[in-house]
C-alpha cells in the first residue's frame, strides 16, 4: 500500500530540533523531505558530538531518510535556483525569527506567488506577532514563562530543569505536524495552501488544563510542587528504595490506592491520606526504603497498583515490552554502522517497508537545483 504522504514534497529550511523532527515525522509517513542548508556547515546540529558517520548522531537521528541541498540563501540568484523546488513543493517548514524569510525573498507571500498550493509552516518561540516575537530564547525559557516550570519543585522548593525539551517537541514539533496535516486536508477542498504560525510557548498552556481550570473556575491557583500530580500527594510520588533506586507510585484512584497500601503493608492509620498528607507520605517513605528496587518489583508485580521502578534509558531500551512492540526495529545506517533509529509516533501501517535508512550528506542532492557547485563549499 502507498504511504499516506507519498508524493508530498517538503522543503525544510529549519535547523536543530523542532522543525527537523516535524519533517522527520512527515518523511516517515512517506513525504519527500529536502533540507535546505548552508554551504560548508549545513544544519548546526551536524557539528554536535558524538559523531555517527561524518556528522553528529543527533543530526543523523533527526534527518533519517531526507535529502540535502546546500545553497547560500543570501545569494542574488538563490530564489531563482530554488524555484523548481518551490514550484513542486507542497509544504515549507522554516524556523527563523519572524521577518527573516521575507528579507530573503522566501516569505509566504513570495512563495505563494510562485505556488499558491504551498502550506507554509513557521515555527518560532513566541509566534509571528506580539511583544516577544523577536526575543531570543530556548526551551527552558518558554517552559518558564508559560508557568509550566513553576508547577514542579524539588526538595528545596526550587523548580527543577525538565529532563526533556518539552517546548521544542510538544510545543513545536507536534503542533506543526498536526496543523500541516490539517492544512493539507483543507487544501484538498480549497486548492490553496495556508501560512501556519506555530508558537512553542503558546502551545505549552494545553499541558496545564487542570491548573487553568482550578484557577479560573475556583480561584485555586496551584502551589509549586503541591498539587495532586505535581508532588503534593502521596498517591503520585517518587520514593527512594533501600538500594538508592526509585519507585514511581501513581495509585491515584481509590481501588489502586487500596491495593498499593495492602501491597506495601501500610499501617491502617496512614491509609486515609486526606487526614494527614505529610504523615502518610512519611510512612510510605519508610516502608519503601525498607526494601530494594528488585524486591519491590517482585512484591508489586500483578497487584494492580500503578507502580514502576524508575529505569535508565539503557534499561528502557532493553525492556521486554518495548522490544515486543517492535519499537526499536528500524535502523539508522551510516558508513557501515547501524544503530536503532529514533522511535517516532507514526503508526506502523503508515510507514514504509524498508527498515534501514541513512541521513543525507551536506549538499548530496544539489542536482535538484541544477548544480552541485556548493555541495562542498
Residue 168 bears catalytic tag: yes
Of 296, 299, 323, 321, nearest to 310 (Cα)?
296
Is 321 a residue of the active site?
A: no
| 3-class secondary structure, 337 | strand
Question: Could you say which of 12, 43, 139, 168 is catalytic?
Answer: 168
Residues 6+ apart with CB under 8 A from 183: 119, 121, 193, 194, 196
Strand partners, 247: 239, 309
Which of the residues 77, 102, 138, 272 is marked catalytic? 138
Give the Cα separation of 93 and 115 in Å (integer): 15
What CA–CA distances, in Å, run from 369 to 166, 177, 337, 357? 36, 26, 30, 23
| CA–CA distance, 21 with 165 (Å, rounded to integer) | 12
CB 162 within 8 A of CB 172: no
Exposed, middle or buried by CB within 10 Å (0-12, 13-18, 19+), for 347? exposed
Instruction: Tell me which residues are annotated as active site.
Output: 138, 168
Amino acid at each position: 500500500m502507498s504511504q499516506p504522504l507519498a508524493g508530498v514534497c517538503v522543503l525544510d529550511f529549519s535547523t536543530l530540533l523542532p522543525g527537523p523532527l516535524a519533517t522527520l515525522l512527515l518523511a516517515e509517513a512517506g513525504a519527500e523531505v529536502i533540507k535546505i542548508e548552508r554551504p560548508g556547515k549545513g544544519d548546526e546540529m551536524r557539528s554536535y558530538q558524538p559523531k555517527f558517520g561524518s556528522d553528529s548522531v543527533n543530526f543523523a537521528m533527526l534527518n533519517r531518510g531526507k535529502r540535502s541541498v546546500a545553497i547560500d540563501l543570501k545569494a542574488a540568484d538563490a530564489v531563482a535556483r530554488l524555484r523548481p523546488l518551490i514550484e513542486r513543493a507542497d509544504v515549507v517548514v522554516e524556523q527563523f525569527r519572524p521577518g527573516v524569510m521575507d528579507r530573503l525573498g522566501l516569505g509566504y507571500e513570495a512563495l505563494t506567488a510562485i505556488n499558491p498550493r504551498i502550506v507554509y509552516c513557521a515555527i518560532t518561540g513566541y509566534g509571528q506577532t506580539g511583544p516577544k516575537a523577536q526575543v531570543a530564547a530556548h526551551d527552558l525559557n518558554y517552559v518558564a514563562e508559560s508557568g509550566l516550570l513553576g508547577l514542579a519543585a524539588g526538595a528545596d522548593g526550587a523548580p527543577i530543569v525538565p529532563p526533556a525539551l518539552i517546548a521544542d517537541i510538544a510545543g513545536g514539533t507536534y503542533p506543526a505536524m498536526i496543523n500541516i496535516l490539517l492544512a493539507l486536508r483543507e487544501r484538498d477542498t480549497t486548492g490553496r495552501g495556508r501560512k501556519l504560525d506555530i508558537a512553542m510557548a503558546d502551545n505549552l498552556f494545553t499541558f496545564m488544563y487542570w491548573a487553568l481550570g482550578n484557577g479560573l473556575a475556583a480561584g485555586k491557583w496551584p502551589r509549586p510542587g503541591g498539587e495532586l500530580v505535581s508532588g503534593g500527594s502521596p498517591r503520585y510520588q517518587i520514593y527512594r528504595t533501600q538500594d538508592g533506586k526509585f519507585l514511581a507510585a501513581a495509585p491515584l484512584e481509590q481501588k489502586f490506592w487500596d491495593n498499593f497500601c495492602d501491597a506495601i503493608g501500610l499501617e491502617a492509620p496512614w491509609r486515609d491520606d486526606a487526614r494527614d498528607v505529610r504523615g502518610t507520605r512519611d510512612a510510605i517513605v519508610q516502608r519503601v526504603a525498607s526494601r530494594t528496587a528488585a524486591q519491590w518489583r517482585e512484591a508489586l508485580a500483578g497487584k494492580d497498583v500503578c507502580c514502576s521502578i524508575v529505569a535508565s534509558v539503557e534499561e528502557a531500551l532493553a525492556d521486554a515490552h518495548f522490544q515486543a512492540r517492535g519499537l526499536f526495529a528500524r535502523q539508522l545506517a551510516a558508513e557501515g554502522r547501524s544503530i536503532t533509529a529514533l522511535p517516532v509516533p507514526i503508526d506502523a501501517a503508515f510507514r514504509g517497508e524498508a527498515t534501514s535508512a541513512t541521513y543525507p550528506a551536506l549538499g548530496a542532492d544539489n542536482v535538484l537545483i541544477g548544480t552541485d557547485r556548493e555541495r562542498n563549499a
